[in-house]
Amino acid sequence: MTKRLEGKIALVVGAGSVGPGWGNGKATAALFAREGATVVCADVNAKAAEETVEIIKGEGGEAMALSVDVAKSAEIEAVIARTVEAHGRLDVLDYNVGIAHVGGVVELPEAEWDRVFDVNLKGCYLAMKYAIPHMEAAGGGSIVNISSIAAIRYTGVPYSTYYATKAAMNHLTKTTAVQYAPKGIRINAVLPGLMKTPMVEKSTGLAGEYARGDVEEMWKIRDSQCPMGHMGDAWDVANACLFLASDESRYVTGLELVVDGGITLKYS
């Protein structure tokens, strides 16, 4: 049986994990490799990217690790150039980067506003900026941007930067999708809901907002908020990314694919 990404070259930006376990990008990189892709694992944490590569190679897959600061144009340009130089083309770009800082517009330091926008939104823009010309030259490709249900609703936590950056990412995804649809480049967004991942555990202030710093209590509260009775995990996000990266979604572009166990259907 043919694997779903057989022969594809995929770049996963944010392929490491901020802590033990499976983050969205790490799981996505591993799943892409299991489905036949050669995966370039890029992350600001070089050691984390290498760990993902070791897992992929240990399973018999093909991967390489690169370090990148997504807020720096030259570094993103270099990662994409190295990917194409090493493998001849770029078929799939998965932008799986996001940071959050708890604080509404009054409490939030201005420097944090700028930092989160640089990582969450500017990095997404830069990744597409440098990837799209290579995809256009090759006759097409698939871009998957990882957004959040925070882009479309209040989640109970006051983090204005996360809401704003993810909402902007959604619109950037849709408008760019229209522009490049005639070129055979599909651009979609995945919107995870409440997920149990290392990024959530490590995010500044989240456990404090939920449960006075008690991480285990935070997990219980988040589980109870979900109609299915539990949070999703990184593999739920990875499977959504796989669909959008594969030819199974060849007629899908500009989509906001919500992966949330039904929580956005609730009134509160």
For 59-112, how does the pLDDT look when each residue is reduced to its tens digit (9 = 90+)? Answer: 999 999 999 999 999 999 999 999 999 999 999 999 999 998 889 999 999 999
For 209-247, how does the pLDDT look when each residue is reduced to its tens digit (9 = 90+)? Answer: 777 778 888 889 899 999 999 999 999 999 999 999 999
- The boundaries of the domain holding residue 98 are 9-196+233-261
Structure tokens given for 222: 């988040």
Structure tokens given for 213: 């710093």
Burial 164-186 (b: 16+ CB within 10 A, else e): bbbbbbbebbbebbeebeeeebb
pLDDT number for residue 206: 67
In a domain, 104, yes or no: yes
In a domain, 152, yes or no: yes
Q: What values do phi and psi take at 5, rounded to 5?
A: -125, 30
Q: Which of 83-87, 139-143, 153-157, 182-186 has the lowest mean pLDDT?
A: 153-157
In a domain, 224, yes or no: no
- Residue 244: give its domain's CATH number: 3.40.50.720
Average pLDDT of the segment spanning 164-184: 98
For 64-79, how does the pLDDT look when each residue is reduced to its tens digit (9 = 90+)? Answer: 999 999 999 999 999 9
Structure tokens given for 14: 């944010």
Average pLDDT of the segment spanning 124-151: 98
In total, how many domains does the chain have?
A: 1
In a domain, 257, yes or no: yes
pLDDT number for residue 251: 98
In a domain, 4, yes or no: no
Average pLDDT score over the chain: 94
In a domain, 214, yes or no: no
Q: Which residues pair with 210 in a beta bridge?
A: none
In a domain, 138, yes or no: yes
Q: What values do phi and psi take at 171, rounded to 5?
A: -70, -40
High-pLDDT (> 90) share of the chain, % = 84
pLDDT number for residue 179: 98
Average pLDDT of the segment spanning 51-58: 98
In a domain, 171, yes or no: yes
pLDDT number for residue 20: 83
High-pLDDT (> 70) share of the chain, % = 96
Residues marked as catalytic: 162
Please give the model's pTM, rounded to 2 decimal places: 0.94
Work out the burial of residue 11: count CB atoms within 10 Å of its CB; fewer than 13 is exposed, 13-18 middle, 19 or more buried.
buried
